[in-house]
Amino acid sequence: MCTHKRRMHQTLFDPMDHPNHPRQDPVHFPTDRRLRIWVRPPVPALTALAVAFPVAVAWAQYFLTGLPEVPHVPRLHPDSISDPQGFPAWLRITHYVNFLFIALLIRSGLSILMDHPRLYWNAHCTPGTEWLRFTPLEVPKDRVWQAKDDARYISPWLALPGYRHTIGVARHWHLLCALLWVASGLVYVGLLFATNQWMRLVPTSWSILADAWAVFINYVTLHMPAEIEGFHSYNALQQLSYFTVVFVMAPLSILTGLAMSPAIDNRFPWYPKIFGNRQAARSIHFLLLVGYVGFVVVHVATVVATGLAHNMNSIVLGTKDQGATGIVLGVIGIAAVLAACFFAHWLSWHYPRILQRLIGRIHTFIGTLFFDHITPRAQYSKEDISPFLWPNGKMPTSAEWESMAANDFKDFRLKISGLVEHPVELSLDEIKAMGKQEQITMHHCIQGWSGIAEWGGLPMTMLCDIVKPRPDAKVVVFRSFGDGLYGGEYYDTQPIENVLRAQCMLAYEMNYQPIDRLYGAPLRLRVENQLGYKMVKWIKAIEFVDSEKAVGEGYGGKNEDDEYFDLTPEI
């Protein structure tokens, strides 16, 4: 097989990558592809009220006091020659680059959302407590329903890469584009303030609110405000909405995105609380997506309605004339973004390993800068324990595990081997006698759900004290009795430094009971600074090796091999 060859080639572009992906086809294209949106009943009513109320007030004011005049903005510099004049090239370029990345972020974000198509305001993700769901299914109560069963199909016309169980690749795009989007955003904001262009966007007086309201009344009562010379300044409502997008929504997207990181949340538990909790941050992150889509629709409609040719020349060429060049180039630009979306789709389905390696390198870089320094230490209290924790992972079906389970794992022996001075085989009782640590922590699944549970078990540091890893042992492999989603032994790996951190343990207790079969009996791993798929359940054996490249297909775990997940998911 080509596995060996693949291991040898750790370049981004490997011709051996291509043939290996179609193994997942049946699951990616399920028969049930219904997309249903259900919203908790008060939400549409409240939203309608929130929209209808200002509209009604605006109409009332219009009838009572007539149409308010539309003021000029920026008011402070009506005649100053230092006012922004037109749109410089850097502004036109960053505007376009932003459009490209937002498009890819929204598309990959939708793919990620569909892997757990429910949104909550509470941290526990108990089925039935969601306020929004994108699935026609209620969680069945009479049988085991895994979080992976709950994932939905989404059309690749809408999402990148779309289909089902493609969250690994979707995340690569999302994280890559988030980094590039933030970088271009920093350049843009930096130049805004380095020049006088910030005056267009940043209101400098509270009168902006009254002025924006006056403009709002004009729009809502279907009076187009007298055309403001957008080349020099915006009307107050326009300024306020651009300001909100750039200086409120974009930072909030970044901050709520970070609030979903297991490494950050389990080190700084106050951080997600700024937004309520991790799931509230996730809900806000999604609402911001809706906000961008809404903004783009209104923005584009206004560009069309207020003089398309003239506006497109300003946006694309930075000129004031009426010719068709701006429209032509603008359409070509939009076509190029569409082409980029098609290219991203093609790359996702034909060369996902390229993405995995590229993002892996960026991860390693960012990891060494930030994440390697943060050790998880969050502890929740007993009252915080979730009433329900979504289960995930195929239960073992081997006769070996079944018969051990039937006998309360009395015959179980954990085999620890590889690059250690004292390879051992330990019974569950011996493990329990070696030491115990307890922690109440939040589990973060890559799919988006989370939940809080108590875990009791043997810290990996204690185990290492006994088996004594040799200096050449760099990576720890955890092998499971269970299989991966697409068959073959489930396993995952950890760099040895990470298992030596606080809160990394072999858990044999969950919520003060011996761990249930469904949740990983007899032993499962807890590594609180990473995502759930790293925490192997139903552990059979542990092996110390010098590199993950020699195990499985060489990408560091079953999901890394089969679904292109990242090796060190701290975000």
Task: Round to the nearest angstrom and report the end-to-end CA distance of the chain.
Answer: 33
Binding ligand MTE (rule: CB under 6 A), the pick from 84, 117, 482, 522 is 482
Residue 459 contact among ligand MTE, Mo ion, none, beta carbon within 5 to 8 Å by kind? none
Residue 315 DSSP label: I
**376-415: which residues touch ligand MTE (CB under 6 A)?**
389-394
Backbone angles phi, psi at 543, to 5 degrees: -135, 135
In angstroms, what is the minimal distance from the CB of 393 to ligand MTE? 3
Q: Judged by CB under 6 A, how many residues of this single chain contact ligand MTE?
A: 18
In angstroms, what is the minimal distance from the CB of 448 to Mo ion? 9
Which two three-digit tokens encode residue 203? 């209101």
Confirm or reject binding of residue 522 to ligand MTE (CB under 6 A).
no
Confirm or reject binding of residue 445 to ligand MTE (CB under 6 A).
yes
Confirm or reject binding of residue 533 to Mo ion (CB under 5 A).
yes
Confirm or reject binding of residue 535 to ligand MTE (CB under 6 A).
yes
Tell me which stretch binds Mo ion (CB under 5 A): 46-54, 124-132, 437-445, 535-543: 437-445
In angstroms, what is the minimal distance from the CB of 568 to ligand MTE? 15
Q: Judged by CB under 5 A, how many residues of this single chain contact Mo ion?
A: 5
Residues 143-176: b if buried by 16+ CB within 10 A, e if exposed: eebebbebbbbbebeebbbbbbbbbbbbbbbbbb
The binding track of 3-42 with respect to ligand MTE, each residue x by CB under 6 A or -, is ----------------------------------------
Tell me which stretch binds Mo ion (CB under 5 A): 163-171, 438-446, 452-460, 493-501: 438-446
Confirm or reject binding of residue 124 to ligand MTE (CB under 6 A).
no
Tell me which stretch binds Mo ion (CB under 5 A): 122-130, 156-164, 441-449, 558-566: 441-449
d(CA 517, CA 408): 10
Binding ligand MTE (rule: CB under 6 A), the pick from 234, 490, 544, 564 is 490
Residue 173 contact among Mo ion, ligand MTE, none, beta carbon within 5 to 8 Å by kind? none
Confirm or reject binding of residue 532 to ligand MTE (CB under 6 A).
yes
Strand duo 424-427 + 505-510: pairing: unpaired
In angstroms, what is the minimal distance from the CB of 218 to ligand MTE? 52
d(CA 359, CA 173): 9
**Range 337-341 contact pairs with CB under 8 angstroms and sequence separation of 24 or more:** 337/99, 337/100, 337/103, 340/100, 340/103, 340/104, 341/103, 341/104, 341/107, 341/160
Confirm or reject binding of residue 536 to ligand MTE (CB under 6 A).
yes
Confirm or reject binding of residue 480 to ligand MTE (CB under 6 A).
yes
Binding ligand MTE (rule: CB under 6 A), the pick from 213, 243, 533, 544 is 533
In angstroms, what is the minimal distance from the CB of 68 to ligand MTE? 55
Residue 164 contact among ligand MTE, Mo ion, none, beta carbon within 5 to 8 Å by kind? none
Nearer to ligand MTE, 107 or 148 (CB): 148
Nearer to ligand MTE, 87 or 519 (CB): 519
| Residues contacting residue 121 through CB under 8 Å, at least 6 positions apart | 131, 276, 277, 279, 280, 283
In angstroms, what is the minimal distance from the CB of 491 to ligand MTE? 8
Return the bridge partners of 11, or none. Answer: none
Strand duo 524-526 + 505-510: pairing: antiparallel
Strand duo 513-514 + 524-526: pairing: unpaired
Confirm or reject binding of residue 532 to Mo ion (CB under 5 A).
yes
Tell me which stretch binds ligand MTE (CB under 6 A): 153-161, 301-309, 406-414, 535-543: 535-543
For the chain, how many residues are written? 571
Confirm or reject binding of residue 445 to Mo ion (CB under 5 A).
yes
Binding ligand MTE (rule: CB under 6 A), the pick from 87, 188, 412, 538 is 538
Identify whether 161 is preceded by a cis peptide bond (ω within 30 of 0).
Answer: yes
If you search the block for the tokens 């990996």, which residue do you land on? 460
SS3 labels along 337-386: HHHHHHHHHHHHHHCHHHHHHHHHHHHHHHHHHCHHHCCCCCCCCHHHCC
Nearer to ligand MTE, 533 or 555 (CB): 533
- Among positive and negative, which fits the CA dihedral 346, 352, 357, 361? positive
d(CA 533, CA 530): 8
Residue 548 DSSP label: G
Residue 479 contact among ligand MTE, Mo ion, none, beta carbon within 5 to 8 Å by kind? none
Nearer to Mo ion, 147 or 378 (CB): 147
Residue 117 contact among ligand MTE, Mo ion, none, beta carbon within 5 to 8 Å by kind? none
Nearer to ligand MTE, 92 or 394 (CB): 394
In angstroms, what is the minimal distance from the CB of 225 to ligand MTE? 52
Nearer to ligand MTE, 286 or 533 (CB): 533
Number of other CB atoms surrounding residue 81 within 10 Å: 6
| Nearest alpha carbon to residue 152 among 120, 117, 118 | 117
| Rounded to 5°, angle at Cα 344 from 343 and 349 | 100
Instruction: Give SS3 for 452.
Output: strand
Which two three-digit tokens encode residue 471? 């200096």
Confirm or reject binding of residue 537 to ligand MTE (CB under 6 A).
yes
Question: By the criterion CB under 5 A, which residues form the site for Mo ion?
Answer: 392, 445-446, 532-533
Question: By the criterion CB under 6 A, which residues form the site for ligand MTE?
Answer: 389-394, 443, 445, 480, 482, 490, 519, 532-533, 535-538
